[in-house]
A and B are shown apart, each in its own frame.
Chain A
């Protein structure tokens, strides 16, 4: 399945966050979106799941125009978002967070399959989600999204605030999800993490895609990296 975005514009309140952005995400592919803070990366993810209405341009998912669908319908069509702030349901337990989401999906994912991917969660199943560490909440947020059996995973800065061992664990988890055929759109500030995983990289600045290419081209695109990432 493919996500195609054509000339998308979107507003965050009165501020225009996207200025005609286009990109394409394929199955079994990790597409990384890099750019400075405020470049419009998170706005794009919000827009894809229908949280920023009144957009122009088109979002095509699996051949269907989902641009103006309500959020729950987009989620049921197989698109799941892991938000930057994790936003686990703090008053529910870890198990309840996962089981809740599992009732939406086609059942490809179970609590034990999430546990195999993130073993840390298995020992905390009955803990209130609000009591987890930041890293554990990140795992739970990803696990919760997976429980809906998505075909496209939108990840908003998953490494933010994670300790190094957690980042390594996350890297191998994402690689195995890709191997399972999941399409992943990854927004990151951690350029090294993203570049190591990505099959395709798009640089975003001021709400538009200004550079796109594979990881090898990215490694040699010194000028673009310098200019748009300062790295």
Chain B
């Protein structure tokens, strides 16, 4: 069951408004960090959908996002305008996720984790070695989308555009969880044998959920390619997927809004701590330990509990 409680809706609105205000009134760096937060939040949201509501903890999401980024880059470099190219990237991610999901949906727990890790590494290695994809040099010269009245090359415009995409993905995620499919997906997670005895095919439903999550990861990938105007295999290294998982736990798994809180908290902490030490990972690590020991519901969970108490 997913409840869009008042506190969750308020948290999401607050984070979005705060980031928008920060980029309007802030400097260049504020706008770049805002775009980064929005992109990471979409990817974490994608992972929350499968990990938080389907029990499918994936280490392939970095690679799936990378497929979206490369799909956009290649289509755009081949001459396709940004919006159709974005569609290509998102379809590529969705298809990749559908295949990975179909093959690994019968596995659970650590076995599922390992198989997704293997798929992620495979995609990374193939990209790294493919000359047509620029190898480890990556691909540059990628266009940003054409927007009416404004120029997306302006950092402020791009930051607000990324926030708008985050809002769209958030609403889509809520709609999916509240749909009959979302209920089936959560039922299969709760009790696969019971769901089968009601006439549902658990593996098919899990694979479909993974494909939907990959679609969101594809949106994050397209935005990342548009933001950096450059893609490289860096995007797909398995530690990138691990980072997404860390941010999800930090923000609060299975809460939807935790993705935004986690992404904002993580990147702000990273930029702030990196300002005066190279060991910013230490700060993230300490915060992660504190959040997990405090109940494992993440930063957004702590907010909700304070309200309940």
A interface residues, Cβ below 8 angstroms from B: 49, 51, 70-72, 75-76, 80-81, 83, 87, 89-93, 96-97, 99-101, 103-104, 128, 144-145, 148
In Å, the complex CA distance between A83 and B194 comes to 8
| A–B pairs, 6, beta carbons within 8 Å | A96-B183, A100-B198, A103-B184, A104-B198, A104-B199, A145-B198
Known A92-B183, A100-B184; judge A75-B191 contact (CB<8 A): no
Contacts of A100 in B (CB 8 A): 180, 183-184, 187, 198
Distance A71 CA – B195 CA, assembled complex (angstroms): 10
- CB atoms of A80 and B197 under 8 A apart: yes
Q: Quick one: given A96-B183, A100-B183, are A91 and B190 in contact (CB under 8 Å)?
A: yes
Question: B1's contact among A72, A92, A144, A145, by CB below 8 Å, is which?
Answer: A92
Question: Known interface pairs A87-B191, A90-B190, A99-B180. Does A80 touch B198 (Cβ–Cβ under 8 Å)?
Answer: yes
- Taking A75-B196, A89-B187, A128-B1 as known contacts, 8 extra A-B pairs with beta carbons closer than 8 A to each other, sorted by chain A number, are A49-B197, A70-B201, A71-B197, A75-B198, A87-B193, A104-B199, A145-B198, A148-B199
Q: Is the CB of A92 within 8 A of B200?
A: no
B residues within 8 A CB of A96? Answer: 1, 183
B interface residues, Cβ below 8 angstroms from A:
1, 180, 183-184, 186-187, 189-191, 193-201
Which of chain B's residues has its CB closest to A128's CB? B1
Tell me the bound Cα distance from A128 to B120 in angstroms: 36
Minimum CB–CB distance for B226 against chain A, Å: 36
Q: Do A92 and B198 contact each other (CB < 8 Å), given the known contacts A99-B180, A100-B183, A100-B184?
A: no
Q: Which residues of chain B are near A148, meaning CB under 8 Å? A: 198-199
Residues of B within 8 A of A71 (CB): 193, 196-197
Q: Are B186 and A75 in contact (CB under 8 A)?
A: no
Shortest distance between the CB of B142 and any CB in chain A (Å): 41
Shortest A77–chain B CB gap in Å is: 9
Asked if A75 meets B190 with Cβ closer than 8 Å, knowing A92-B183, A103-B180, the reply is no
Tell whether, in the assembled complex, residue B186 and residue A89 are in contact, meaning their CB atoms are under 8 Å apart: yes
Report the number of A-B residue pairs with Cβ-Cβ less than 8 Å.
63
B71 to chain A, nearest CB (A): 34
Say yes or no: A72 contacts B193, CB within 8 Å.
no
Main secondary structure of the interface of B (DSSP, over half): helix
Residues of B within 8 A of A144 (CB): 198
- A101: which B residues are within 8 A, CB to CB? 198
Q: How far is the CA of A70 from the CA of B308 in the complex (A)?
A: 45
Could you tell me the distance in whole angstroms from the C-beta of A210 to the nearest C-beta in chain B? Answer: 28
Contacts of B201 in A (CB 8 A): 70, 72
With A100-B183, A100-B184, A128-B1 given, is the CB distance from A72 to B200 under 8 Å? yes
A144 to B184, CA, bound (A): 13
- 10 closest A-B pairs (Cβ-Cβ)? A75-B199, A104-B199, A71-B196, A89-B190, A76-B199, A89-B187, A87-B194, A100-B183, A72-B201, A96-B183
Q: Which residue of B lies closest to A86 (CB)?
A: B194
Q: What's the nearest-Cβ distance from chain B to residue A121, in Å?
A: 16
Across-interface contacts of A87 in B (CB, < 8 A) = 191, 193-194
State A89–B198 Cα separation when bound (angstroms). Answer: 12
Q: Which residues of A contact B198 (CB under 8 A)?
A: 75, 80, 100-101, 104, 144-145, 148
Roughly how many angstroms separate A100 CA and B195 CA in the complex, as a whole number? 9
Q: Which residues of A contact B191 (CB under 8 A)?
A: 87, 89
How far, in Å, is B171 (CB) from chain A's closest CB? Answer: 20
A103: chain B residues at CB < 8 Å are 180, 184
Once the chains are docked, how many angstroms separate the CA of A99 from the CA of B198?
A: 12
* Whole-angstrom CA separation of A93 from B187 in the bound complex: 11
Within the complex, what minimum Cβ distance (angstroms) separates B159 from chain A?
36
For residue B187, which residues in chain A have a CB less than 8 angstroms away from its CB?
A: 89, 92, 97, 100
Chain B residue, CB-CB nearest to A79: B197
Q: Is B190 a contact partner of A72 (Cβ separation < 8 A)?
A: no
Chain A neighbourhood of B200, CB < 8 A = 72, 104
Residue of B nearest to A87 (CB): B194
A159 to B93, CA, bound (A): 50
Give the Cβ gap from A122 to chain B, nearest Cβ, in Å. 18
Q: Tell me how far the C-beta of B258 lies from the nearest C-beta in chain A, rounded to whole angstroms.
A: 16
Min C-beta distance of A105 to chain B, whole Å: 8
Closest residue of chain A to B196 (Cβ to Cβ) is A71
Tell me, rounded to whole Å, the shortest Cβ–Cβ distance linking A183 to chain B: 17
Shortest CB distance B175–A (Å): 15
The CB with the most chain B CB atoms within 10 A, among A71, A103, A144, A145, is that of A71
- How near does chain A come to B92, taking the closest CB pair, in angstroms? 31
Across-interface contacts of A90 in B (CB, < 8 A): 190
In the bound assembly, the distance between CA atoms of A90 and B194 in angstroms comes to 12
CB distance from A50 to the nearest CB of B (A): 8
Does B194 lie within 8 Å of A72, measured CB to CB? no
